Amino acid sequence: MTQAVGPLKNLGSAAKLCLVAGVPDVSQPPFVAECFREEAGTLIAEGLAPVAFEVINASEGGRPSEVRDSMFANAMSRQMQTLAADAIVGRVQQFLAASDVEPVIIKGPAVARFHPSNWPRPYSDIDLLVRPDQFEESLNRLVEAGFAYPETSIPPWPWFDRHCREGVNLHGIGNVDLHHHIAPWIFVNRLTSQEVWDAGVAVTRNGTSVRMASIGHSGVVAALHILNDLWKGQRGLVSWRDIIVILRSTDVEAIRGTFVEARLEWLLDLVLSELHEAVPYAVEGSGHEPRIPFRSRWRIRGLGWQDSTALSRHRAAWMIRLPWPQALAFAA
């Protein structure tokens, strides 16, 4: 078997187990307590501590108690963040509805509903996607509602948020990420927020009906989020687990159709190939040979697909996330 060459290269045994733990119809690698000791830092840093805790808890004998305790503490912290995020959904919906804005929820809450029951998929905020023409009004409404836009994040130019980054982070009892494009922006010029909204489904959350991204678009968002995490110097293991869950929850070719519509079929094949090499028991087949467009090839390399470096994580690398007009504005 060839080796993974991207973000899953040299992935440890404990992390591989956490990627597939509890996923139906997937062979589970053996539990090795020593691997969890060695990889504890990585599992926590990558957001897999809640899954790791469940894996350790379910193991028969050889439980590393000190690792279990640290995973439990982290899992509880993340669960509190999830509860706080869920608690604000209705309030956010109410304030935006006053401006005739109905966002679509992407990322954590949208994909968590596909995860196997009794297996945690925590998230720290609510990610909302609105149309670009609704972004400024939505931002103003949320700030009026009491969500804080940290002063250190407020740009010196009023046009910057709309044209040089995909969204903003707002802080409150639960945090909100407000997006006008899915990140990284450069890869989703063919996928509009309106299309994501149109394909979304109504879901009741804490007594409030909200719109969440479809399973296909959740797969696209998860794959793109890996590229975001690479820019931050992480592997994006939570998003890799999301993709495995999604691929096991529906027909792969149906998911492919959504990627094709977004002109991102090459990204699906790239992800499938990486999974096939690193955790072959998690996916059926390796997909098609990735045919990465030249411009996308150097962009994902720049974001650190094969080797994350300080240069790939430098703030200047933000420009390669943006379409050319926005990148020039950022540089200016």
Mean pLDDT by 10 residues, the chain (332 residues): 71 96 91 95 96 92 86 96 92 90 94 94 95 93 92 72 81 93 84 95 88 97 92 91 94 89 90 89 68 67 60 52 56 52
Other C-beta atoms closer than 10 Å to the C-beta of 185 total 21
Radius of gyration of the chain measured on its C-alpha atoms: 20
What confidence score (pLDDT) does residue 83 get? 94
* Entry pTM: 0.89
What confidence score (pLDDT) does residue 311 get? 45
- The whole-angstrom separation of Cα 248 and Cα 283 is 8
3.40.50.150, 3.30.420.40, 3.30.460.40, 3.40.50.280: CATH of 1-332: 3.30.460.40
What confidence score (pLDDT) does residue 230 get? 85
Interior angle at CA 193, CA 188 and CA 195, nearest 5 = 95
CB 127, CB 221: distance < 8 Å? no
- The whole-angstrom separation of Cα 96 and Cα 145 is 10
If phi > 0 it is left, if psi is from -120 to 50 it is alpha, else beta; for residue 181 that is: beta
Give the β-pairing of 208-212 and 201-205: antiparallel
Q: Kindly give, in sequence order, each residue whose CB lies less than 8 Å from that of residue 240, ignoring residues fewer than 6 positions away.
A: 7, 8, 19, 226, 275
- The whole-angstrom separation of Cα 267 and Cα 255 is 12
Instruction: Give Cα 312 to chain centroid, integer Å.
Output: 19
pLDDT per position as a tens digit, 146-195: 999 887 777 766 767 776 678 899 999 899 999 999 988 778 878 999 99
Name the CA dihedral angle for 197, 177, 229, 34, rounded to a multiple of 10 degrees: -110
